[in-house]
Amino acid sequence: ATLRGDYGYLLNSKSELLHRLYYECTVNLLRPRIIVDYEREPYILAAGDVRLTFDKNIRAGIDGFDIFDKDIPTVETMDPGTLVMEVKYTEFLPNIVRNILTSSTALYVESSKYILCCDKMLHTRGFNA
């Protein structure tokens, strides 16, 4: 099943969220613009209400739009071994995290996994896609 066609497999779930997704997709003919797939290692620090995530193996899904297809073909968007760290906090940034962020060994760039995948698809499918 793909999101272009039959959504019936969503109804087999006990999740109300997936039932709503099924409804929205079928009634409004929704499908994703791009599939963004990655491996994530999350950490939470209670001090400062900090969430650290490390994402790697960031890939763009190609030739399909089924967000639940574990076997969808993908292409890499970054060099192998690249690790993306996200830091989100609401109160304050603890020194242990601040010290990581000021390390001279890290490369700092603003990045969006969505934009990386969209750019990769433009290059993969051609700029007229």
Phi, psi of 43 (to 5 degrees): -140, 145
Residue 1 has what pLDDT? 37
The model's pTM is 0.70
Residue 9 has what pLDDT? 63
Residue 2 has what pLDDT? 40
pLDDT 10s digit of each residue in the chain, 129 long?
344 445 566 667 788 888 888 788 888 888 788 889 999 999 999 888 999 999 999 999 887 777 777 788 899 999 888 888 888 988 888 888 888 777 666 667 777 888 989 888 887 777 655
Quickly tell me which residue has 């020194």 as its tokens.
Answer: 95
User: Strands 35-45, 74-76: parallel, antiparallel or unpaired by DSSP?
Assistant: unpaired
End-to-end Cα distance, the chain: 24
C-beta of residue 109 within 8 angstroms of C-beta of residue 78: no
C-beta of residue 29 within 8 angstroms of C-beta of residue 64: no
